[in-house]
Amino acid sequence: MPFDAAAQVQARLPLVSRFRADPAAKSFDLLRTRLLHTLKARGWKRVAVTAPVAGCGTTFTAVNLALSLARVPDSRTVLMDMNFRRPGAAQALGMTAPGELAGFLSGQVQMEDQLLRPLPSLAVGLNSAADQDAAEILHGRSCAGVLEDMMLRLGADTALFDLPPVLEHDDTAALLPQVDGVLLIADGTRTTAAQLAACEKMLVGHTQMLGVVLNRARKTDSPLN
Protein backbone atom coordinates (compact mmCIF):
# COMPACT_ATOMS: atom_id res chain seq x y z
CA MET A 1 0.00 0.00 0.00
CA PRO A 2 1.57 3.33 -0.98
CA PHE A 3 1.69 6.29 1.38
CA ASP A 4 -1.27 8.57 0.87
CA ALA A 5 0.51 11.87 0.24
CA ALA A 6 -2.66 13.95 0.50
CA ALA A 7 -3.63 12.37 3.80
CA GLN A 8 -0.13 12.93 5.12
CA VAL A 9 -0.36 16.63 4.52
CA GLN A 10 -3.52 16.67 6.62
CA ALA A 11 -2.08 14.44 9.33
CA ARG A 12 -1.00 16.31 12.44
CA LEU A 13 2.29 14.52 12.74
CA PRO A 14 5.32 15.86 10.86
CA LEU A 15 6.99 12.97 9.07
CA VAL A 16 10.63 13.91 8.90
CA SER A 17 11.35 11.39 6.14
CA ARG A 18 9.68 13.87 3.80
CA PHE A 19 12.18 16.53 4.80
CA ARG A 20 15.50 14.73 4.67
CA ALA A 21 17.64 17.87 5.11
CA ASP A 22 15.86 18.88 8.32
CA PRO A 23 17.94 18.63 11.53
CA ALA A 24 15.10 16.52 12.98
CA ALA A 25 15.60 13.95 10.20
CA LYS A 26 19.31 13.84 11.03
CA SER A 27 18.48 13.33 14.70
CA PHE A 28 16.24 10.37 13.86
CA ASP A 29 18.92 8.81 11.66
CA LEU A 30 21.45 9.23 14.49
CA LEU A 31 19.01 7.68 16.94
CA ARG A 32 18.39 4.82 14.50
CA THR A 33 22.09 4.11 14.06
CA ARG A 34 22.81 4.12 17.79
CA LEU A 35 19.77 1.96 18.48
CA LEU A 36 20.79 -0.56 15.81
CA HIS A 37 24.31 -0.78 17.26
CA THR A 38 22.91 -1.62 20.68
CA LEU A 39 20.33 -4.08 19.36
CA LYS A 40 22.84 -5.88 17.13
CA ALA A 41 25.47 -6.10 19.88
CA ARG A 42 22.95 -7.77 22.18
CA GLY A 43 20.94 -9.76 19.64
CA TRP A 44 17.78 -7.82 20.42
CA LYS A 45 14.91 -6.91 18.11
CA ARG A 46 11.90 -5.67 20.03
CA VAL A 47 11.74 -2.14 21.38
CA ALA A 48 8.94 -0.55 23.38
CA VAL A 49 8.58 3.21 22.89
CA THR A 50 6.87 4.98 25.75
CA ALA A 51 6.89 8.15 27.85
CA PRO A 52 6.14 9.23 31.42
CA VAL A 53 2.85 10.97 30.49
CA ALA A 54 0.69 11.54 27.41
CA GLY A 55 1.68 13.92 24.64
CA CYS A 56 5.48 13.70 25.03
CA GLY A 57 5.89 12.53 21.42
CA THR A 58 5.88 8.73 21.67
CA THR A 59 3.98 8.26 18.41
CA PHE A 60 5.97 11.03 16.71
CA THR A 61 9.21 9.27 17.68
CA ALA A 62 8.04 5.71 16.98
CA VAL A 63 6.74 6.53 13.50
CA ASN A 64 9.71 8.64 12.44
CA LEU A 65 12.18 6.13 13.87
CA ALA A 66 10.39 3.30 12.04
CA LEU A 67 10.66 5.24 8.77
CA SER A 68 14.34 5.86 9.42
CA LEU A 69 14.94 2.17 10.22
CA ALA A 70 13.07 1.17 7.07
CA ARG A 71 15.63 3.05 4.97
CA VAL A 72 18.44 0.73 6.07
CA PRO A 73 19.17 -1.45 3.02
CA ASP A 74 18.12 -5.10 3.25
CA SER A 75 16.41 -4.58 6.59
CA ARG A 76 12.88 -5.26 7.74
CA THR A 77 11.08 -3.17 10.32
CA VAL A 78 7.66 -3.58 11.89
CA LEU A 79 5.81 -0.82 13.79
CA MET A 80 2.95 -1.89 16.05
CA ASP A 81 0.49 0.64 17.48
CA MET A 82 0.02 -0.88 20.93
CA ASN A 83 -1.37 2.31 22.46
CA PHE A 84 -4.87 0.93 22.80
CA ARG A 85 -5.90 3.96 24.88
CA ARG A 86 -5.16 6.49 22.13
CA PRO A 87 -4.10 4.81 18.88
CA GLY A 88 -2.18 7.38 16.84
CA ALA A 89 0.08 5.67 14.30
CA ALA A 90 -2.56 5.40 11.55
CA GLN A 91 -3.24 9.12 11.59
CA ALA A 92 0.46 9.91 11.78
CA LEU A 93 1.11 7.84 8.67
CA GLY A 94 -2.00 9.09 6.87
CA MET A 95 -3.26 5.52 6.61
CA THR A 96 -6.49 3.76 7.55
CA ALA A 97 -6.32 0.85 9.97
CA PRO A 98 -8.04 -2.22 8.54
CA GLY A 99 -9.55 -3.12 11.93
CA GLU A 100 -8.92 -3.45 15.63
CA LEU A 101 -5.49 -4.70 16.59
CA ALA A 102 -6.99 -6.62 19.51
CA GLY A 103 -8.47 -9.13 17.03
CA PHE A 104 -5.01 -9.84 15.62
CA LEU A 105 -3.34 -10.14 19.05
CA SER A 106 -6.03 -12.54 20.26
CA GLY A 107 -5.42 -14.76 17.24
CA GLN A 108 -8.81 -14.15 15.64
CA VAL A 109 -7.53 -12.08 12.72
CA GLN A 110 -4.81 -13.27 10.35
CA MET A 111 -1.62 -11.26 9.96
CA GLU A 112 -2.34 -10.70 6.25
CA ASP A 113 -5.66 -9.08 7.16
CA GLN A 114 -4.24 -6.73 9.81
CA LEU A 115 -0.74 -5.66 8.86
CA LEU A 116 -0.10 -3.18 6.05
CA ARG A 117 3.11 -2.71 4.11
CA PRO A 118 3.55 0.97 3.19
CA LEU A 119 7.15 0.35 2.10
CA PRO A 120 8.83 -2.87 0.99
CA SER A 121 10.92 -2.80 4.18
CA LEU A 122 8.20 -1.64 6.60
CA ALA A 123 5.13 -3.42 7.99
CA VAL A 124 2.70 -1.60 10.28
CA GLY A 125 0.09 -2.92 12.68
CA LEU A 126 -2.46 -0.13 13.01
CA ASN A 127 -5.49 0.04 15.28
CA SER A 128 -8.86 1.41 14.23
CA ALA A 129 -10.42 1.95 17.67
CA ALA A 130 -9.45 2.69 21.25
CA ASP A 131 -9.89 -0.15 23.74
CA GLN A 132 -9.84 0.31 27.50
CA ASP A 133 -9.14 -3.39 28.22
CA ALA A 134 -5.63 -3.00 26.84
CA ALA A 135 -3.69 -4.60 29.67
CA GLU A 136 -5.89 -7.70 29.44
CA ILE A 137 -5.23 -7.94 25.69
CA LEU A 138 -1.49 -7.63 26.23
CA HIS A 139 -1.54 -10.19 29.07
CA GLY A 140 -3.76 -12.49 27.00
CA ARG A 141 -2.64 -16.03 26.32
CA SER A 142 -2.30 -15.63 22.59
CA CYS A 143 -0.50 -12.25 22.49
CA ALA A 144 3.04 -13.59 23.04
CA GLY A 145 2.59 -16.38 20.48
CA VAL A 146 1.06 -14.05 17.89
CA LEU A 147 3.97 -11.60 18.21
CA GLU A 148 6.55 -14.40 18.02
CA ASP A 149 4.90 -15.80 14.90
CA MET A 150 4.69 -12.29 13.40
CA MET A 151 8.42 -11.66 13.91
CA LEU A 152 9.32 -14.96 12.27
CA ARG A 153 6.97 -14.68 9.32
CA LEU A 154 7.95 -11.08 8.57
CA GLY A 155 11.64 -11.88 9.01
CA ALA A 156 11.72 -8.65 11.02
CA ASP A 157 15.06 -7.24 12.16
CA THR A 158 13.51 -4.58 14.37
CA ALA A 159 10.06 -4.17 15.93
CA LEU A 160 8.90 -0.91 17.50
CA PHE A 161 5.89 -0.92 19.83
CA ASP A 162 4.14 2.43 20.35
CA LEU A 163 2.82 2.28 23.93
CA PRO A 164 0.75 4.41 26.31
CA PRO A 165 2.51 6.47 29.02
CA VAL A 166 4.17 4.47 31.81
CA LEU A 167 2.85 6.62 34.66
CA GLU A 168 -0.75 6.62 33.45
CA HIS A 169 -1.46 2.97 32.54
CA ASP A 170 -0.03 -0.46 33.29
CA ASP A 171 -0.15 -1.48 29.61
CA THR A 172 3.58 -0.98 29.15
CA ALA A 173 4.25 -3.19 32.17
CA ALA A 174 1.98 -5.83 30.63
CA LEU A 175 3.97 -5.85 27.38
CA LEU A 176 7.44 -5.84 29.00
CA PRO A 177 7.84 -9.66 28.87
CA GLN A 178 7.47 -9.43 25.07
CA VAL A 179 10.11 -6.76 24.45
CA ASP A 180 13.89 -6.62 24.78
CA GLY A 181 14.17 -3.02 25.87
CA VAL A 182 12.48 0.33 26.35
CA LEU A 183 13.09 3.71 24.73
CA LEU A 184 11.71 6.45 26.94
CA ILE A 185 10.60 9.72 25.36
CA ALA A 186 11.09 12.85 27.45
CA ASP A 187 9.41 16.09 26.45
CA GLY A 188 12.12 18.76 26.70
CA THR A 189 9.51 21.39 27.50
CA ARG A 190 7.85 19.68 30.48
CA THR A 191 9.13 16.22 31.50
CA THR A 192 10.61 16.41 34.99
CA ALA A 193 13.51 14.51 36.55
CA ALA A 194 11.03 13.11 39.08
CA GLN A 195 8.89 11.67 36.27
CA LEU A 196 11.91 10.01 34.66
CA ALA A 197 12.98 8.60 38.01
CA ALA A 198 9.47 7.21 38.58
CA CYS A 199 9.56 5.51 35.16
CA GLU A 200 12.98 4.03 35.82
CA LYS A 201 11.78 2.70 39.16
CA MET A 202 8.85 1.03 37.45
CA LEU A 203 10.90 -0.48 34.63
CA VAL A 204 14.09 -1.54 36.41
CA GLY A 205 14.36 -5.27 36.95
CA HIS A 206 11.70 -5.93 34.31
CA THR A 207 13.44 -4.79 31.16
CA GLN A 208 16.47 -2.95 29.83
CA MET A 209 16.44 0.80 29.41
CA LEU A 210 17.79 1.46 25.92
CA GLY A 211 17.87 5.20 26.48
CA VAL A 212 15.97 8.41 26.96
CA VAL A 213 15.13 10.47 23.88
CA LEU A 214 14.90 14.21 24.40
CA ASN A 215 12.00 15.36 22.23
CA ARG A 216 11.08 19.01 21.69
CA ALA A 217 14.62 19.97 22.62
CA ARG A 218 15.49 23.63 22.36
CA LYS A 219 17.77 24.66 19.53
CA THR A 220 20.57 25.35 21.95
CA ASP A 221 20.37 21.70 23.14
CA SER A 222 21.48 20.43 19.73
CA PRO A 223 25.19 20.04 18.93
CA LEU A 224 24.28 20.43 15.25
CA ASN A 225 23.39 24.08 15.74
Ligand X SMILES: Nc1ncnc2c1ncn2[C@@H]1O[C@H](COP(=O)(O)OP(=O)(O)OP(=O)(O)O)[C@@H](O)[C@H]1O
By the criterion CB under 6 A, which residues form the site for ligand X? 12-14, 51, 54-60, 83, 86, 88, 164-165, 215-216
Residue 27 or residue 91: which is nearer to Mg ion going by CB? 91
Q: Coil, strand, or helix at residue 211? A: strand
C-alpha 68, offset from chain centre = 12
H/E run at residue 129: none
Instruction: Answer with the entry of ligand X, Mg ion, none that 195 interacts with (C-beta below 5 to 8 A by kind).
Output: none
Instruction: Answer with the entry of ligand X, Mg ion, none that 60 interacts with (C-beta below 5 to 8 A by kind).
Output: ligand X
Instruction: Answer with the entry of ligand X, Mg ion, none that 55 interacts with (C-beta below 5 to 8 A by kind).
Output: ligand X
Instruction: Answer with the entry of ligand X, Mg ion, none that 144 interacts with (C-beta below 5 to 8 A by kind).
Output: none
Residue 170: DSSP 8-state: S
Residue 38 or residue 170: which is nearer to Mg ion going by CB? 170
In the complex, the smallest distance separating the C-beta of residue 96 from Mg ion, rounded to whole angstroms, is 17
Residue 29 or residue 162: which is nearer to Mg ion going by CB? 162
Q: Which of 17, 27, 50, 59 binds Mg ion (CB under 5 A)?
A: 59
Cα dihedral 157→51→68→28 (10° resolution):
-130
Helix H, strand E, coil C: the string for 46-98 is EEEEECCCCCCCHHHHHHHHHHHHHCCCCCCEEEEECCCCCCCHHHHHCCCCC
Q: Does 87 bind Mg ion (CB under 5 A)?
A: no
- Sole window of 15-23, 59-67, 97-105, 167-175 interacting with Mg ion (rule: CB under 5 A): 59-67
For the beta carbon of residue 96, count every other beta carbon within 10 angstroms. Answer: 13
Q: Does 164 bind Mg ion (CB under 5 A)?
A: no
**What is the rounded CA–CA span in Å between residue 110 and residue 95?**
19
In the complex, the smallest distance separating the C-beta of residue 88 from Mg ion, rounded to whole angstroms, is 4
- Minimal CA–CA distance to 118: which of 207, 3, 199? 3
Residue 111 or residue 196: which is nearer to ligand X going by CB? 196
